[in-house]
Amino acid sequence: MAQRFGGRFSPGGPFGARAQGGSAQDEALREAAAEARRVDAAGARANLMMLPPLVAAFTGLFAGPVGLVLSLGAAAALGLGAWLLREGLRAEAAFHARPTARRPAVPRKIMAAILTAGGTALAALAAGQEALGAGLYAVAAGGLHLVAFGLDPLRDKGAEGLDGAQRDRVARVTGEAEAHLLAMREAVATLGDRALETRVAGFEALARRMIRTVEEDPRDLAGARRYLGVYLMGARDATTKFADLYRRTRDEGARRDWEALLGDLETHFASATTKMLEGGRESMDIEIKVLRDRLGREGVRPD
């Protein structure tokens, strides 16, 4: 029997027809669609860096014992450097995509350049070059690597006027929020239901809009902390309970109740984000009380 295709950008999907309006939900879905269409930061250039280690390992098969060991060492260094380069490019893209970000803890691109230089030196020695010549090849390879791919971000971004403790609080709260969203997505993914995955993707878009709002202006953290912490944790717990129940029983009533809960959460998250942007603290307090009552009725008891 033919099956209708449905994807993230199909009509009715989270980034399809629902994203044509003008509400806060629709705006969040449009932003999420732009993120989903973003090309992988690693790109073809980084993928090509996987070829030299293969060549080094292959040529070592036709050398003597010393040449084989040197070639395998070169392949290992070049391969690890290529992998670190891919991860470094992705970390750099994530750094530039966020309005507030801390520099990568590990300078992967710089380490990749050092490993590329070392691997090139080993490959040159395996080919019979003297130590001086191998060193010159290494310097050239490392320098060209840095010219082609650049350095890692070496300074925090968007943290002007914030001390280290404030930056850490923002990073901790947003990191925990991302972990809750990931847990929701993984719980629903176990059900193998595209419509439910679509539903969670829409809620994720709204929650991430609040996360970006906090990153752009960390002064909003006080108002958003309860949403991104306690209530997002409640949404995660409710989703996990629903997934466990629905996997065993396929109870359509439980599915309707969970979707209704997620709809209420979307409404409150969208409203709270708008009020954060407008500075409506009193209205946010009302939203918090309503959301707490809603989660309580679903058996989720946030502290």
Along the 303 residues of the chain, how does pLDDT read in single tens digits?
A: 444 434 444 444 444 444 444 455 555 555 555 554 455 556 677 888 889 999 988 888 888 888 899 999 999 999 999 999 998 888 888 777 666 666 777 899 999 999 999 999 999 999 888 999 999 999 999 999 999 898 888 877 665 555 566 777 777 888 888 888 888 889 888 888 888 888 888 888 888 888 887 777 776 677 777 888 888 888 888 888 888 988 888 888 888 888 888 888 888 888 777 777 665 454 555 555 666 665 666 555 555
How far from 155 is each of 14, 160, 166, 175, 260, CA to CA, in Å?
Answer: 35, 11, 16, 19, 44
Cα Rg, the chain, nearest whole Å: 25
CA distance 284 to 235: 18
Torsion of CA 19, 22, 27, 32, to 10 degrees: 10
- DSSP per-residue letters across 228-288: IIIIHHHHHHHHHHHHHHHHHH--HHHHHHHHHHHHHHHHHHHHHHHHHHHT-HHHHHHHH
Sequence-separated (6 or more) residues with CB below 8 Å from residue 221: 169, 170, 173, 214
Instruction: Say how many residues make up the chain.
Output: 303
Running DSSP on this structure, what letter comes out for residue 51? Answer: H
Residue 126 CA to residue 107 CA, distance in Å, equals 29
| Residue 288 to residue 293: CA distance in whole angstroms | 9
Q: How many alpha carbons fall within 13 Å on the CB side of residue 138?
A: 21
Residue type, 286: I
